[in-house]
Structure 1
Amino acid sequence: MTHVIELTGVAKRYDSAGAPALGPIDLSVAKGEALAVTGPSGSGKSTLLNLVAGLDKPTEGSVTVAGQQVDQLSEHGLARFRREQIGIVFQFFNLLDDLTVADNVQLPAQLTGTSRKKAAARAAELMEVLGISKHALAYPGRLSGGERQRVAVARALVNRPALLLADEPTGALDTASGHDVRELLVDLHRGGQTIVLVTHDLALAEACASRTIHLVDGHLALETPAEAAR
């Protein structure tokens, strides 16, 4: 089995005298798996996501993503690795308001050196699939929350990343928009995209994930295996 994520003996301390914010834990995520990470505030969910994304480095242990030990990369190497291998969807979209929807989506592709023509073609393909083609020339501020999150998902997928990270992707949305994004994540998983979803919403985790882990005080308190998650 091919694993996209391998965490071995990983711990993160922000205070050398205090308890770790996370771990130590071991965790593997297989290619094509959708893993939901749940737990109360302060349980280590965001720390785990940041370590996987290479936004933070572990105090102990190793973090390997898509075959690359990310905790050993330089800042430049990490930035390039994230652009090429990891797509991130945030709770509050993080779109650039002075760029059109199309330009927001294709920007990460251009940053990796993809020609503007090829980036635009890939962006158009994703916008069609995600039902936002009609907004291609609009600016994010003119869209609903659900539409902006679809733009954010398209942007995260434009470089065909090995891993999609979603941090509370429905947390800032109304019920209807949240349902739309949930169905989108379900479709992406069915299509083979590897996903790690951090959420407080147990219904979202149940709908989207093939496996769920629950963190408490930085430790793995409960794991729901794939066959019991549906």
Structure 2
Amino acid sequence: MPPARRSPGWDLEVRAGEALAVLGRSGSGKSTLLNLIAGLDRPTSGSVTVDGVAVHELGEAALAEYRRARIGMVFQFFNLLDDLSVEDNVLLPAQLAGMRRERAGARAAELLDRLGVARYARTFPGLLSGGERQRVALARALMNRPPLLLADEPTGALDTTSAGDVRALLTELNAEGQTILLVTHDTALAETCATRTIELLDGRLHRDTAAEAVR
């Protein structure tokens, strides 16, 4: 993955196939970094480039297209639409991207089956456990085969067993080549899933540790 940068003071490059865990106290800049990469915030200086796209130069319409095509996002509290079924939540990114209905349906069924929630396809998210909802959120994030998966505290709202399941899923996805950037306070997630860990302190890069030193 080409460089994602935040100024002033430091540059960050995330390569294709990496799983990068971003650690740091509240207020250290973790969410800001995630928002810059997603195009939700704009840098006051410097640049952000993802998969060859200069994100900081995009207008609003182009940013929406960029997020649909190149970014999958998973949130701590799932951000599923409770008035849509599980299947319809997963299909939503494909519909916004104009994917053909047959292809989208096949892709959604494949993801729900793989993530172990196919039996809930017609169920509404509010009836599922936290772990099940996070699996649905992962399926939705992966729907358009994004080059980069962003995960914001993906285990933060889960019990121990569900958190372990999500850690295993993210590790498996990365082993298959999915590039992942995750913000977390879950050191077990960083130790299990990440091929590299960075720590932010007061908006600056404090530590950058390769997997050999983490595991």
Which TM-score bucket, shorter chain as reference? over 0.9
- Contact 2:55 2:63 survives alignment (8 Å): yes
Instruction: Name the counterpart of 1:62.
Output: 47
Task: Tell me which of 166, 170, 193 is aligned to 2:151.
Answer: 166
Instruction: Name the counterpart of 1:102.
Output: 87
Task: Mark the runs of 5 or more structure 1 residues left unpaired by the alignment.
Answer: 12-22
Instruction: Name the counterpart of 1:20.
Output: none
How far is the alpha carbon of 1:176 from its aligned partner? 1.0
Task: Tell me which of 61, 71, 75 is aligned to 1:86.
Answer: 71
Structure with greater strand share of residues: 1
- Contact 2:4 2:48 survives alignment (8 Å): yes
| Count of aligned positions | 215
**TM-score in terms of structure 2 length:** 0.98
Give percent identity, aligned residues only.
Answer: 65
Q: Deviations over 1:201-226 (max 9, x none)?
A: 11111111000000010111111113
How far is the alpha carbon of 1:28 from its aligned partner? 0.4
**TM-score in terms of structure 1 length:** 0.91
Q: What SS does the corresponding residue of 2:46 show, helix, strand or coil? A: strand
Q: What SS does the corresponding residue of 1:196 show, helix, strand or coil? A: strand
d(CA) in 1 for partners of 2:12, 2:178: 18
Letter in 1 for 2:153: E
1:126 paired with 2:115, answer: no
1:6 paired with 2:3, answer: yes
Q: What SS does the corresponding residue of 1:37 show, helix, strand or coil? A: strand
Instruction: Name the counterpart of 1:216.
Output: 201
Question: What RMSD, in angstroms, separates the aligned Cα atoms of the two structures?
Answer: 0.9
- Contact 2:151 2:183 survives alignment (8 Å): yes
Task: Mark the runs of 5 or more structure 2 residues left unpaired by the alignment.
Answer: none
Task: Tell me which of 188, 194, 199 is aligned to 2:184.
Answer: 199
Instruction: Name the counterpart of 1:26.
Output: 11
Q: Deviations over 1:94-147 (max 9, x none)?
A: 001111111100110111011222111100010111111011110101100000
Task: Tell me which of 159, 171, 180 is aligned to 1:186.
Answer: 171
Letter in 1 for 2:65: R
Instruction: Name the counterpart of 2:25.
Output: 40
